[in-house]
């Protein structure tokens, strides 16, 4: 049953991702329906009786679920068709990954009642910064299109979607707003992670790949926000920091889980 829900959500995401932009009502309604199906299936799959299922595929799927929600809300105020053609096809792929890579089950017995909140905050942080990365990609494409000579400008569906984006300065303000929100959540994730590391392992930090990449990502996003405030960083500098910070954060959990589960065939939480 869960498999059918995941597949149906993927089909709806893909359909909405490639519908003509003039069909705004159908896109909005279809995206909302797919999001509800996706969320319901994820909830049933992740939360079992006294246990929590965790894996790189589930985390990536949950991240795209929240990313779709952020896109849907933003699109009510701004025309973000360029974001739609990136987010929804990506969500269509991510939603079926838990079927192929189910991950591992973590018993919740003996753990703090706040542990699920730590997981939820981490997912929110990853999702916010995922949206920031999508924005950075769109801004890079938008800037490249603005500086291209008329004869080299592509007129395909992606080019037309980029043309419908808000002004570059508006996109930049939105990027820093999302990065700031994600950085706050990432900070809370790091702090709550210290608490649970002490509770579960007796030490404040486990210096593994997950911790190192998470802290490096936190430093990169913090440096970006500080540079924006003190030095007025923008443009290509902001895009480079955003994409590098996101790639590092992706390696912190999703990448390490992928190596453990798919490459090494191990199911550690």
Does position 268 have pLDDT exceeding 50, yes or no?
no
Whether 115 and 196 have beta carbons less than 8 Å apart is answered as yes
Compute the chain's Rg from CA coordinates.
19
CB atoms within 10 A of CB 250: 21
Per-residue pLDDT, 13 = 94
Q: Which pLDDT belongs to residue 257?
A: 52
| Cα dihedral sign, 181-241-248-96 | positive
Give the Å distances, CA to CA, from 101 to 98, 106, 119, 209.
Answer: 5, 15, 19, 21
Helices (H), the chain: 2-18, 24-46, 56-74, 81-94, 97-100, 115-147, 157-163, 168-201, 209-231, 235-250, 256-258
Q: Does the pLDDT at position 175 exceed 50?
A: yes
Is the confidence at residue 9, as pLDDT, over 90? yes
Task: State mean pLDDT over 35-62.
Answer: 80
Q: Is the pLDDT of residue 185 over 60?
A: yes
Name 214's Cβ contacts closer than 8 Å, sequence gap at least 6.
Answer: 186, 189, 190, 193, 249, 252, 253
The model's pLDDT over 77-116, given as tens digits with 9 standing for 90+, comes to 766 776 787 789 889 998 988 888 877 777 767 666 677 7
Q: What is the pLDDT of residues 243-264, one digit of tens each?
A: 998 888 887 766 555 544 444 4
How confident is the model at residue 152, as a pLDDT? 55
pTM: 0.73
Whether the CB-CB separation of 190 and 214 falls below 8 Å is answered with yes
- Name the residue ranges covered by the structural domains of the chain: 2-263
């Amino acid at each position: 049953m869960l498999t059918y829900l995941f597949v149906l959500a993927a089909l709806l995401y893909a359909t909405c991702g490639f519908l003509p932009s003039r069909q705004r009502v159908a896109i909005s309604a279809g995206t909302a329906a797919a999001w509800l199906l996706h969320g319901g299936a994820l909830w049933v799959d992740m939360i079992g009786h006294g246990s929590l299922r965790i894996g790189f595929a589930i985390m990536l799927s949950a991240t795209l679920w929240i990313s779709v929600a952020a896109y849907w809300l933003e699109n009510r105020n701004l025309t973000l068709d360029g974001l739609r053609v990136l987010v929804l096809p990506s969500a269509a792929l991510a939603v079926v990954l838990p079927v192929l890579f189910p991950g591992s089950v973590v018993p919740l017995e003996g753990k703090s009642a706040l542990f699920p909140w730590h997981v939820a905050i981490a997912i929110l942080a990853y999702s916010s910064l995922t949206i920031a990365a999508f924005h950075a990609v769109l801004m890079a494409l938008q800037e490249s299109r603005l500086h291209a000579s008329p004869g080299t400008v592509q007129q395909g569906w992606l080019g037309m979607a980029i043309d419908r984006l808000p002004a570059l300065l508006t996109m930049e303000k939105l990027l820093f707003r999302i990065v700031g929100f994600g950085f706050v959540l990432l900070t809370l994730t790091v702090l709550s992670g210290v608490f649970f590391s002490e509770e579960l392992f007796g030490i404040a930090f486990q210096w593994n790949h997950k911790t190192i990449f998470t802290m490096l990502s936190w430093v990169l996003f913090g440096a970006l926000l500080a540079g924006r405030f003190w030095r007025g960083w923008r443009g290509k500098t902001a895009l480079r920091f955003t994409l590098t910070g996101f790639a590092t954060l992706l390696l912190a959990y999703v990448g390490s889980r992928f190596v453990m589960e798919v490459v090494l065939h191990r199911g550690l939480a």
